[in-house]
C-alpha cells in the first residue's frame, strides 16, 4: 500500500540513521519501527536491570571527615542563599 506520511524532522533523522546503520531501505526501517510499536507488549520481554557492584576505597591521604565538613558548608550556603532570596 502506498501512502503519504509527514514525519517530524527529528524522527526522519532517526529513521535515516537507523536505515544507514542497518544497511536497509528507509521504508523497511519505517515498517519495522511501526510494526514493533504497534505489536502487543507481551511479545517484547523487558530487559532486566542488573547492578554490578565493585569495591571502592578512599585513596591514602583523603580525610573522610573533610567530606562531612564540605557537605555541611554546602548545606549552610544553600540555606543562606534561600534566606536571602526575594519572596
The model's pTM = 0.46
How high is the pLDDT of residue 19? 96
Q: Kind and range of the H or E element at 2?
A: none
Under 8 Å between Cβ of 16 and 26: yes
pLDDT in tens, 43-77: 666 788 899 998 888 788 888 788 888 889 999 99
pLDDT for res 41: 67
Inter-residue contact 15 to 30 (CB < 8 Å) = yes
Angle at 45 between CA 17 and CA 47, to 5 degrees: 70
Could you please report the per-residue DSSP string of 39-62?
Answer: S-GGGSPPPPP--------PPTT-
C-alpha triplet 28, 14, 5: angle, nearest 5°: 60
Domain range list for the chain: 9-43
Amino acid at each position: 500500500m502506498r501512502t503519504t506520511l509527514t514525519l517530524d524532522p527529528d524522527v526522519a533523522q532517526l529513521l535515516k540513521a537507523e536505515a544507514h546503520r542497518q544497511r536497509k531501505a528507509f521504508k523497511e526501517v519505517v515498517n519495522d519501527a511501526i510494526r514493533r510499536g504497534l505489536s502487543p507488549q507481551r511479545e517484547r520481554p523487558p530487559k532486566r536491570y542488573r547492578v554490578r557492584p565493585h569495591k571502592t576505597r578512599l585513596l591514602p591521604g583523603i580525610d573522610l571527615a573533610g567530606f562531612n565538613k564540605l557537605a555541611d558548608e554546602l548545606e549552610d550556603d544553600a540555606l543562606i542563599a534561600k534566606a536571602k532570596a526575594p519572596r
